């Protein structure tokens, strides 16, 4: 789904959605009844279909084949103010077949699941591979991968959100809208977006992998208007999309962080409380002080910092970008291979430790195996500030001298070819005991930023600019009041070398997005980024207020 289609689906309009970061780019599939989403397909049937494809491709000359049989379920519940705007259930079911023939990749997909159609798609994939091999400069080199036989993996959720009655979901969202409007919101759109990927992978390596993945994103978007001046301000949800079931919405006292300027959420989310505060804060923003541009020390909450990590660490360490495969669209990377080979490139200072992890419970990237049948794990990307590794799939491993893939292969749907996508990339918490208050206490002139906002970064990931949802001025170690019109600009390496303190692991939280876009045609990836609250010194802050007309 394109950004524009999502805006249309939610009826938010371009202005309402302007700050939206979690917008998905996924194939929508067909509309179904809610009950149908609870059905499952027998793995034995999927194995039979997979074997038809593997045999057909082999008989036409493929030297490697993998088959992904996917059932992708989405549910959207969208409300605004006092009404339900849209309830959509979709299902997309089909098979994607990828082969190597004559040394080149070929891919074809079909939603017709009879033996004949599957065999034809496999044959088409081989024909495309052979056609493409004419234009190759070198054959594909695939890192060896053992077959796992018949295995399965299920996300460890407590409550399947697709099983929760629609009325309960609608009531939650309408209550959220009502409390936000009582606090000062003039308009609010709220939504629940659920995903269930039931995917089956089989390959000529001898793996037959059945996986069940669940994701949830509750979100709202508030606008408050000053009718006299015609000015308006927005305040978006502080939730994170998660790899969880409906339990994400059942926040217990221990899941809330209070005592700061707003309630923050750890692991679980209280949508009602966030909306109650959101309505008040949107209104407060209308009269908040406009920021004085200049250098500030920034204290960044994990609900904000995840996006800066995503853009400035996640993307430049994607090996396909480093190598030039994304040059025409997403871009390349400043983290060229020579910087990695030197083993002394100071990406950040010694406080900065960044880890890639496809196993983190509750995260969006967590799976048992990736979309080319590689069991997932965890590895260092930045160690004590030094660039030590990238994100790698099977046909890239030899470039780094690795003997195996790191399991970073993903496709948004059966109909799209899998390629290198970002695993969860997270900043490790500070090793010494340190609270958010401790961080703020040491700041003379700073800004505390909560929530993600506008975001933009260049095609090699040097220069970036980020906004946020809530901005609080820090004066002499104390929070001095709300600011608005804040955005900060920096350079990736300079920024991570200005890191001046990271709160300890008791503050560690995940943020993330459903809609990380890459590739042509574009595909969406879901990924989480964890961190504790972190301080950066002397960052350039601009004022974004302008006048037109």
CB-wise, 201 or 464, nearer to other proteins? 464
CB of 399 to other proteins, least distance (A): 12
CA angle in degrees (0–180, nearest 5) for 214-216-219? 170
Residues 6+ apart with CB under 8 A from 194: 73, 74, 75, 76, 161, 162, 214, 215, 216, 217
Distance of CA 365 to the CA centre of its chain: 8
Nearest to 195 by CA among 104, 92, 348: 92
Cβ-based burial of 171 (10 A; exposed 0-12, middle 13-18, buried ≥19): exposed
CB of 323 to other proteins, least distance (A): 7
DSSP states of 106-162: EEEEES--SHHHHHHHHHHHHHHHHHHHTT-SS---PPP----EEEEEE---SS-GG
CB-wise, 175 or 460, nearer to other proteins? 460
CB of 14 to other proteins, least distance (A): 4
CB of 465 to other proteins, least distance (A): 5
Q: Look up residue 344 and give its two tokens.
A: 């002394």
CB-wise, 461 or 509, nearer to other proteins? 461
> How many whole angstroms separate alpha carbon 32 and alpha carbon 92?
10
CB-wise, 213 or 219, nearer to other proteins? 219
Distance of CA 417 to the CA centre of its chain: 19
> How many whole angstroms separate alpha carbon 467 and alpha carbon 489?
9
CB-wise, 60 or 461, nearer to other proteins? 461
Distance of CA 40 to the CA centre of its chain: 26
CB of 517 to other proteins, least distance (A): 11
CB of 462 to other proteins, least distance (A): 5
Instruction: Give the number of other CB atoms < 10 A from CB of residue 368.
Output: 20
Q: Assess contact for 184 and 280: CB atoms under 8 A.
A: yes
Q: Using a CB cutoff of 8 Å and minimum separation of 24, what contacts does 36-43 make?
A: 36/89, 36/91, 37/73, 37/75, 37/89, 37/91, 37/162, 37/196, 38/160, 38/162, 38/163, 40/198, 41/71, 41/93, 41/198, 43/150, 43/152, 43/200, 43/208, 43/210
CB of 506 to other proteins, least distance (A): 33
CB of 549 to other proteins, least distance (A): 6
CB-wise, 120 or 256, nearer to other proteins? 120
**Residue 482: which H helix or E strand, with range?**
strand 478-484
- HSE at residue 487, side-chain half, CA atoms within 13 A, is 15
CB-wise, 382 or 415, nearer to other proteins? 415
Residues 6+ apart with CB under 8 A from 94: 69, 70, 109, 110, 111, 112, 113, 414, 415
CB-wise, 170 or 388, nearer to other proteins? 170
CB of 158 to other proteins, least distance (A): 26
CB-wise, 268 or 484, nearer to other proteins? 484
Q: Look up residue 249 and give its two tokens.
A: 């919405």
CB-wise, 234 or 405, nearer to other proteins? 234
CB of 480 to other proteins, least distance (A): 23
Nearest to 448 by CA among 458, 460, 457, 439: 439
CB of 13 to other proteins, least distance (A): 4
CB of 24 to other proteins, least distance (A): 16
> How many whole angstroms separate alpha carbon 385 and alpha carbon 346?
6
CB-wise, 91 or 301, nearer to other proteins? 91
CB-wise, 345 or 462, nearer to other proteins? 462
């Amino acid at each position: 789904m394109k950004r524009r289609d999502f805006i249309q689906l939610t009826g938010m309009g371009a202005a309402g959605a302007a700050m939206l970061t979690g917008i998905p780019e996924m194939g929508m599939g067909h509309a179904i009844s809610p009950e149908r989403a609870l059905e499952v397909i027998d793995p034995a049937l999927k194995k039979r279909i997979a074997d038809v494809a593997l045999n057909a491709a082999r008989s036409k000359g493929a030297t490697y084949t993998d088959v992904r049989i996917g059932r992708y379920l989405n549910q959207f519940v969208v409300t605004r103010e006092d009404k339900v705007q849209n309830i959509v259930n979709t299902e997309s079911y089909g098979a994607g077949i990828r082969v190597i023939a004559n040394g080149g990749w070929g891919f074809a997909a079909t939603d017709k699941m009879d033996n004949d159609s599957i065999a034809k798609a496999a044959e088409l994939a081989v024909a495309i591979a052979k056609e493409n091999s004419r234009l190759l400069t070198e054959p594909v080199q695939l890192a060896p991968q053992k077959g796992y036989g018949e295995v399965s993996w299920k996300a460890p959720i407590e409550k399947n959100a697709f099983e929760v009655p629609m009325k309960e979901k609608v009531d939650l969202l309408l209550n959220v809208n009502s409390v936000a409007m009582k606090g000062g919101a003039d308009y609010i759109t709220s939504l629940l977006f659920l995903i269930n990927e039931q995917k089956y992978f089989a390959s000529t390596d001898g793996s037959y992998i059945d996986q069940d993945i669940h994701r949830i994103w509750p979100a709202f978007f508030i606008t408050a208007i000053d009718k006299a001046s015609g000015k308006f301000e927005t305040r978006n949800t502080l939730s994170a999309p998660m790899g969880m079931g409906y339990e994400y919405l059942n926040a217990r006292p221990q899941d809330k962080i209070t005592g700061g300027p707003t309630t923050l959420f750890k692991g679980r989310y209280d949508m009602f409380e966030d909306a109650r505060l959101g309505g008040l804060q949107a209104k407060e923003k209308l009269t908040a002080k406009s920021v004085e541009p200049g250098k500030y020390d920034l204290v960044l909450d994990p609900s904000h910092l995840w996006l800066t990590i995503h853009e400035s660490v996640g993307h430049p360490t994607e090996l396909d970008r480093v190598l030039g495969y994304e040059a025409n669209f997403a871009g390349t990377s400043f983290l060229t291979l020579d910087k990695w080979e030197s083993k002394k490139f100071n990406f950040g200072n010694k406080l900065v430790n960044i880890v890639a992890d496809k196993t983190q419970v509750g995260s969006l990237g967590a799976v048992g195996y990736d979309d080319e049948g590689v069991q997932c794990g965890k590895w260092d990307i930045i160690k004590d500030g030094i660039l030590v590794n990238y994100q790698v799939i099977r046909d890239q491993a030899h470039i780094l001298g690795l003997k195996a893939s790191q399991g970073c292969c993903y496709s948004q749907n059966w109909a799209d070819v899998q390629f290198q996508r970002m695993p969860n990339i997270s900043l490790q918490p500070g090793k010494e005991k340190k609270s958010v208050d401790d961080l703020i206490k040491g700041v003379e002139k700073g800004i505390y930023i909560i929530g993600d906002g506008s975001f933009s970064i260049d095609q090699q990931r040097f220069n970036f600019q980020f906004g946020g949802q809530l901005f609080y001025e820090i004066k002499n170690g104390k929070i001095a009041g709300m600011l608005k019109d804040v955005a900060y600009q920096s350079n990736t390496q300079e920024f991570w070398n200005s890191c001046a303190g990271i709160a300890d692991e008791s503050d560690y939280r995940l943020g993330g997005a459903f809609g990380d876009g890459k590739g042509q045609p574009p595909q969406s990836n879901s990924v989480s980024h964890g961190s504790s609250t972190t301080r950066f010194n002397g960052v350039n802050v601009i004022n974004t207020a302008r006048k037109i007309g």
